[in-house]
């Protein structure tokens, strides 16, 4: 299980809140490291000329910095503002917001269970090993159920509580796929063959219990498949399998079948 590091790594991007501004630099609180303070030297504030450091930084401001010096023995950290690119800043702030959302879920779980926040955090950190970050683990729980949390080794009572909170508060968009089929059987027993062809989609559905899907008549000989899932790969795989099954069954029975993928609305 990953553990929270006491100090950041050299060149790491960190989120800091400006707490003090002095003549030759500023001090920031590193929000991801328990309030550890770091120093921003004056010459690391901006590439552009400025008359006063207060033109660039203000107390209470939250910014993204890059670590340029780490002294582990004395826990001294220097950071730079000017060395952070726009893309790095955007990426880090997105990561930070996701981290904050995960911490809020842990806080809610601890309150609900009347347990210590640190205990909840210790459990939630297990998600990083499997899913990359804690919020991704909560998102996977929405997609795949409690098994996603169990896979990371989350223990009860945290597992069921995390899952319930994830279902209630974690919002992830569903992928929607629509296929339009044309199926026709011109033989005397065409109706029975058509039923057999169209029924093949249900056989595929039985193998994909997590998929939400509808297959219905638009107007003979046109039939539509609508698929919804939190998992894009699963949705694509299911739609592909349905198309393959219908075309294959039609070919076996001597009928004509084709399909097209409709653009998302």
Res 152 pLDDT > 80: yes
pLDDT in tens, 2-49: 456 788 999 999 999 999 998 888 999 998 887 899 999 988 988 788
Q: What is the domain partition of the chain in residue ranges?
A: 13-84, 88-169, 175-262
Q: What confidence tier does 106 reach under pLDDT thresholds 50, 70, 90? A: very high
Q: Kindly tell me if the per-residue pLDDT of 96 is higher than 70.
A: yes
What tens digit of pLDDT does each residue of 116-130 get? Answer: 999 999 999 999 989
Residue 160, token pair as written in the block: 């069921």
Would you state the pLDDT for residue 92? 92
* 88-169: CATH topology: DNA polymerase; domain 1 (1.10.150)
- Say if 13-84 and 175-262 have the same CATH topology: no
pTM greater than 0.85 (yes/no): no
Mean per-residue pLDDT of the chain: 90
Average pLDDT over residues 199-216: 91
pLDDT digits (tens, 9 = 90+) for 243-256: 999 999 999 999 99
Confidence check: pLDDT of 1 > 50: no
What angle separates helix 134-144 from helix 158-169, to the nearest 10 degrees?
80
Q: Which CATH class is domain 13-84?
A: mainly beta
Better-scored residue on pLDDT, 34 or 180: 180
Superfamily grouping for domain 175-262 = EIF_2_alpha (3.30.70.1130)
């Amino acid at each position: 299980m990953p553990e929270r590091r006491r100090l950041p790594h050299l060149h790491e991007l960190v989120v800091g809140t400006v707490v003090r501004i002095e003549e030759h630099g500023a001090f920031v609180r590193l929000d991801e490291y328990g309030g550890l303070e770091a120093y921003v030297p004056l010459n690391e504030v901006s590439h552009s000329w400025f008359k006063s450091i207060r033109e660039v930084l203000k107390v209470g401001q939250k910014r993204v910095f890059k670590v340029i010096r780490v002294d582990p023995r004395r826990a001294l950290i220097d950071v730079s503002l000017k060395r952070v690119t726009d893309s790095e800043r955007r990426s880090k702030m997105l990561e930070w917001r996701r981290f904050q959302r995960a911490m809020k879920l842990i806080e809610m779980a601890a309150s609900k269970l009347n347990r210590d926040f640190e205990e909840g955090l210790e459990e939630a950190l297990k998600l990083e090993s499997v899913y990359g970050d804690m919020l991704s683990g909560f998102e996977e729980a929405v997609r795949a159920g409690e098994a996603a949390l169990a896979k990371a080794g989350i223990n009860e009572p945290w597992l069921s509580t995390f899952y319930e909170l994830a279902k209630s508060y974690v919002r992830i968009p569903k992928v929607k796929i629509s296929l339009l089929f044309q199926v026709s059987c011109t033989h005397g027993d065409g109706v029975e063959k058509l039923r057999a062809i169209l029924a093949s989609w249900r056989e595929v559905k039985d193998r994909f219990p997590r998929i939400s899907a509808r297959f219905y008549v638009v107007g003979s000989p046109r039939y539509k498949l609508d698929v919804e899932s939190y998992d894009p790969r699963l949705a694509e795989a299911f739609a592909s399998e349905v198309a393959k099954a219908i075309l294959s069954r039609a070919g076996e029975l001597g009928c004509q079948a084709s399909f097209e993928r409709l653009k998302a609305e």
